[in-house]
């Protein structure tokens, strides 16, 4: 599902114009990104959390050049779904 698909679904279910929904979705994404840049996690009860994870420094190998690379410590964004989110997916997704 793409951002356009999400906008279409929200517009259909709420009756709000697509332009307004698109601005809202984009504003939400900007708020989440800005919060994570400021190292503030975003918690959405019943949905999940957008968090910043710290990756430790590690040594990696470039096999094609046969060299060792040091990857410095860095931070990455992550999403952790809530228990109710996980349970709903577990019970409704069929293989």
Q: Two tokens at 18?
A: 């697509």
- 74 Cβ contact partners less than 8 Å away, ≥ 6 residues apart: 54, 55
Predicted pLDDT of residue 58? 94
Predicted pLDDT of residue 94? 82
The model scores a pTM over 0.85: no
Q: What is the mean pLDDT of each run of 10 residues along the chain (95 residues)?
A: 96 96 96 96 96 95 91 96 95 85
Query: Alpha-carbon distance 89 to 54, whole Å?
Result: 27
43-95 under CATH 1.10.30.50, yes or no: no
Predicted pLDDT of residue 73? 95
């Amino acid at each position: 599902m793409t951002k356009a698909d999400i906008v279409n679904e929200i517009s259909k279910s709420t009756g709000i114009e697509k332009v307004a929904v698109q601005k809202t979705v984009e504003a939400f994404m900007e708020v989440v990104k800005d919060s994570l840049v400021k190292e503030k996690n975003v918690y959405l009860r019943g949905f999940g959390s957008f968090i910043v994870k710290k990756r430790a420094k590690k040594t990696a190998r470039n096999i094609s050049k046969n060299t060792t690379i040091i990857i410095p410590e860095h931070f990455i964004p992550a999403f952790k779904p809530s228990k109710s989110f996980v349970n709903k997916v577990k019970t409704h997704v069929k293989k």
